[in-house]
A and B are shown apart, each in its own frame.
Chain A
C-alpha cells in the first residue's frame, strides 16, 4: 500500500502534536459574549418597536445580568493573554482586518452601554431608587430622554458582538474547520437563542414567556439549518475541510457534538418549548438550561475541534 509518512522534529509546547493555544477561556467568553449580545438585542429591539411595557422582562429585567456576563467574559479573555500587562496595546490602534481588534473596540462600547441600560431601569428592581448625585441624576434623565437612540446603538453593537464571536474563528484559514463564513451567523443565532431563552426566565407575563419560546424555537430551527448548511459546504470543499467535518460525522467529536449540542441543546428544548406553547406544564427552567448548555458546548466543541483540524503538507 502506498503510504506517506510525515515526521517532524518540532515539538513546541501548545503547538505540537496539534494546536492547543486556546483553552477554556475563549469558548467561555464566546458563550458569555453571545448571550450578552442576545439579551441586549431583544432589549433594544422592543424599545425600538415601542413595546417596552408589553415586554418588560426583555427590556427592563433580563439586561441586569449583562454587565456581569461581560465582566466575567472579559476576565476570561484577560486570563487567556500570555503577555497580560500589555493588554492596553489593543486600544492604541484599530485594525480593520483583525476580528479581535473589532471585538476589543466593540466591548469597549457595549460594556458601558450595558451598565447604562441597567442603571436607567434600576427602578424595576428597586422601586424606591433615586439617584442622589446631581450628575448621575442628569445623566439618567439624559439617557431616558434619548432612549430610542441608545437602543439603536445597542442593537447595532449587539449584532456586531454576536457575529464577531464566530468571525473570530472563521478568519483563520489555517484551521479548515473554522474557515467558513457560516460560523458568524451560526454563533449569532446561537447567542440570540441563548438570549431569548434567558429572557423567558425573566418574563413577567405568560404572553411574554410564550413569545420568547416561539422566538427561541425559530432560532433553533435557523441554527439547525446553518449547521447542516455548514457541513454540506465542508463536504463539497477541499480535502482538509472534508477531513475537518469528518470529525463530526464519525470522528472523535461525533458523540459530543450530536448529543450535547444538537439533541440536548437544540432538539429537546425546542420540543419542550413547543409543548409549552401547547399549554402543557413544563418547568420553565428546563428548556432554558438546556439551550444555555447547548450554546456553551457548541463553542467549546468548535474551539477545540478547530484547533485539531489542519493542513497537511
Chain B
C-alpha cells in the first residue's frame, strides 16, 4: 500500500477551502497551517501564466525528517504516511530544518506537527479533509498500489510533476500540469 495525492493545478482556483478544512478537522492552532496555497506567476507581461498549488507534507518515500529524528518520533506508518508521535518528540527542530518543503512547524505545545493525510479519516474509509471539501474537485487521493484508485487513474491519464524531485526525497504528492 502506498498512499498518495494528486492535485490538478489546472482546476485549482486557490480558494483556500482545503486550508480551512484542515485547520478545522485537525485543530490546527490559530496562526499555523498544515497545508497552504502557493501561486507561481511566470512570464513577461502581458503573456503571464499562473500555476496554483495546494501544498502540504509530501509524505516522501525517502523522508529526511524521519532520517534526522533522534528519537524515532518521526516515523512511517502503513501506506508510507509520515507521522509524528507527540510524546516521543523533544522539539529539537531537526526535522523542521531537514524538510526542503518546510512542511513542518513547531506546535505551541512544544512538539512538531504536520499533515497526516488525515489518517484518522482514512481508517474510517473517508477521504482526507482537504480532498473531501475541495469545491473544484481538483484533488485525488488513494493507494498507488491499487491500479483502480482515483489517484492511480488520474496519474495514468495526465502529465504530472512532483516538487523538487532533485532533493532526492521521492515526494508522494503529485501535481497535474
Contacts and interface: CB of A to CB of B under 8 A. Distances in A.
Nearest to A23: B93
A80 B93 contact: yes
Given A100-B70, A175-B97, A16 B102 contact: yes
B94 A100 contact: yes
Interface string A1-35: 11111111111111110010110000000000000
Interface residues of A, number: 48
A98 B36 contact: no
B42 interface: yes
Contact of B64 (A82, A101, A103, A172): A172
Nearest to B86: A83
A107 to B, nearest CB: 12
Interface stretch (A59-67, A85-93, A217-225, A263-271): A85-93
Contacts of A175: 97
Contacts of A5: 40-42
Contact of B91 (A9, A81, A172): A81
Interface in A70-88: 80-84, 86-87
A12 B105 contact: yes
Interface size class of B (residues with CB under 8 A): 35 or more
Given A19-B102, A89-B73, A172-B68, A80 B92 contact: yes
A14 B106 contact: yes
Interface in B87-110: 87-94, 96-100, 102, 104-106, 109-110
A266 to B, nearest CB: 27
A80 to B, nearest CB: 7
A174 B99 contact: yes
B38 to A, nearest CB: 5
Contact of B42 (A4, A12, A14, A81): A4
Interface string B3-46: 00000000000001001000000000001110011111111100
B167 interface: yes
A233 interface: no
A218 B71 CA distance: 39
Contact of B38 (A8, A93, A97, A310): A8
Contacts of A82: 91-93, 106, 110-111
B147 interface: no
Nearest to B54: A9
A206 interface: no
Contacts of A172: 64, 68, 97-98
Given A7-B38, A14-B105, A104 B96 contact: no
Tell me the interface secondary structure of chain A in the complex.
loop
A98 B69 contact: yes
Contacts of A174: 64, 97-100, 102, 167
Question: Which of B40, B41, B102 has the most chain A CB atoms closer than 10 A to its own CB?
Answer: B102
A307 B97 contact: yes
A104 to B, nearest CB: 6
B70 A9 contact: no
Contacts of B135: none
B167 A12 contact: no
Contacts of B94: 98, 100
Contacts of A173: 64, 98, 100, 167-168
A19 B68 contact: no
B173 to A, nearest CB: 12
B43 A2 contact: yes
A126 to B, nearest CB: 39
A16 B32 CA distance: 11
Interface of B: 16, 19, 31-33, 36-44, 55, 64, 67-73, 86-94, 96-100, 102, 104-106, 109-111, 163-164, 166-168
Interface of A: 1-16, 19, 21-22, 80-84, 86-87, 89-90, 92-93, 95, 97-101, 103-104, 171-175, 238, 307, 310-311, 313
29 contacts: A6-B38, A7-B41, A8-B36, A8-B37, A13-B105, A21-B106, A22-B97, A80-B93, A83-B91, A84-B110, A86-B87, A86-B88, A86-B89, A89-B71, A89-B90, A90-B71, A98-B94, A99-B68, A100-B70, A104-B70, A171-B68, A171-B98, A172-B98, A173-B64, A174-B98, A174-B100, A310-B100, A311-B164, A313-B164
